Amino acid sequence: MNTILFWIMTALQIFGIGLTVYAIVHAVRQRSDAFTAVDKLTKPIWLGILLVSLLVILAMGVLGLLGFIAIIAVGIYLADVKPRVDDIQHGGSRW
């Protein structure tokens, strides 16, 4: 049973790392003024939040309190900030 739990935890951590790296790459590639144009935190602040989240997930996994907070921060970026930044840079008429 412990082996199954280990593999589930490992899979969750890898998934969390992948999502966080994706969010970091997305944030790096965006223009700085796009973040403030959609009334979000600045690009350097979001990059800092995402990088700290990556370090927490690497060090502690996703199930501890700090790991849970890190995943929530990444989720906020991907669900709220990313779509708005994409819309303002691409005209909002993408499929």
Residue 92 pLDDT level (bands cut at 50, 70, 90)? low
Predicted confidence (pLDDT) per residue in 41-85, tens digit:
999 999 999 999 999 999 998 888 999 999 999 999 999 999 999
Residue extents of the structural domains in the chain = 2-90
Alpha-carbon 36 to chain mean position: 18
Name the one residue in this structure whose structure tokens are 């199954």.
4
Q: Which amino acid is at 20?
A: T
Cα radius of gyration rounded to whole Å, the chain: 15
pTM, rounded to two decimals? 0.89
Helix 2-29 / helix 43-60 crossing angle, nearest 10 deg: 160
pLDDT at 93: 54
Predicted confidence (pLDDT) per residue in 5-34, tens digit:
889 999 999 999 999 999 999 999 999 999
